[in-house]
Amino acid sequence: MAPDKSSPVENSWKIFEEYHIDEDVGFALPNPLEELPHPYDAWISIAKNLPELIKNGQLRAEVEKLTTFSIDGLQGHKSQRLAHLVLGYITMAYVWGEGDGDVRKVLPSNIAVPYCKVSEKLGLPPILVYADCVLANWKKKDPSGPMTYENMDILFSFPGGDCGKGFFLVSLVVETAAASAIKVIPIIFNAIQREDPDTLQKALLDITSCLHKALEIFHQIHEYVDPDLFFNVLRIYLSGWKGNPLLSEGLLYEGVWDTPKKFAGGSAAQSSIFQCFDILLGIQHTVGGVPSDSAAKFLQEMRTYMPSAHQNFLRSLESGPSVRKFVLSKGDATLQEIYNECVQAMVSLRDYHLQIVVKYIVIPASRPSKKKQTSKEPSEPKSKGTGGTDIMGFLKTVRSTTVNSLLKED
């Protein structure tokens, strides 16, 4: 992990390397591995055939047949990230089965033990997180080609055809478009330290431009993700066991803990990139470091679902100089306007996220369910996000906080 004395103020990618931030893909894992050595290839084999195994009703039996492997042979960060990804896929498939309400409340020890051990090594929870299914679940078709949807594919799929590919890859390409602004952060901090508003203005314009590009790419979701398939199929496999009545007590990780544990499902709130710009621009979801409402509390909690190097980076940003205070102290109308454009770009992204949630969750949730429930358990609340929140309430609060961060004209 990065030592505490490091600060992203220095204009060097060496600093970012310590925080596992890549020059080209930002917080995404650069060139993820696709295969694991024997005996872990047994995990890969199941993960690669998930949709078929689920459809044929064989998934759970195949998982239960697996031997318990020691994780000592998983050498290196990329191998451990791939193991966390495949075990996350297998766990979600095992728990949710065919997505018909017939859930498993106990994860067998042959998966639970290695999953929890590799999770501990990575500082991640033992559930499929954004850092798995979005940041480490991709490859380029042409390795020398661009990071565009057309030139990319995902490594593992859930049921729902190409819906998962669309959802994960559009999220990734949005992430990497915004991530090109990370390299501007040291320039911003240096400009503040040198009292150089001209350099700061240019750097803020660069960030605004990257955020506009991210929003433009976000529109591709309509082309690649079907709302009904997302809501009725994919969303089920991304759901967690926190705030979910189908697993009201959580999931029991056999051989690891004696009592069930609750973990939230994958959520865009687990992306470091937008929390990074919130911190940089002084968009305050906390008061004196304490979450100001349930949305802020959720955002803070979601940091614990990020790779620990990325959590460290966000903490280091919090100890850096304040862009907002500097802009206010200068009393320069042009600088304030450029700062506001940057904040407004974050507002626009959050506005658009709300529209997406209406189309992909709220509207499908209002329709009668086509799925046959085989379980007598209470069904999952339909308008909740995969992270277990009241998603509309959460996103509206976050957007309001962002809007309130715009500097008012005197």
How far is the C-alpha of 188 from the C-alpha of 195, rounded, in Å? 10
Helices 294-303 and 391-403: angle between axes, nearest 10 degrees: 100
- As a whole number of Å, the CA-based R_g of the chain is 21
How far is the C-alpha of 19 from the C-alpha of 77, rounded, in Å? 13
Phi first, then psi: what are they for 4, rounded to 5°?
Answer: -60, -30
Residue 72: which residues within 8 A CB-CB, separation 6 or more? Answer: none
Residue 63: which residues within 8 A CB-CB, separation 6 or more? Answer: 46, 90, 93, 94, 108, 110, 111
Name the H helices within 157-255: 163-179, 185-193, 197-218, 221-224, 227-229, 235-238
Residue 61: which residues within 8 A CB-CB, separation 6 or more? Answer: none
How far is the C-alpha of 96 from the C-alpha of 186, rounded, in Å? 44
Task: Decide: helix, strand or coil at residue 253.
Answer: strand
123's tokens = 């500082």
240's tokens = 């967690």
Strand bridging mode 152-154 / 138-140:
antiparallel
Q: How far is CA 328 from CA 193, 201, 325, 331, in A?
A: 15, 13, 5, 6
CB 357 within 8 A of CB 391: yes
77 is in an annotated binding site: no
Strand bridging mode 106-107 / 252-253:
parallel
Q: What is the DSSP string of 104-150?
A: -SEE-HHHHHHHHHHHHHHT--SS--HHHHTTSSEEESSTTS-SSGG
Residue 37: which residues within 8 A CB-CB, separation 6 or more? Answer: 73
Closest listed residue to residue 181, CA positions, set 159, 152, 202: 202
Binding-site sequence positions for heme b: 353
Binding-site sequence positions: 353
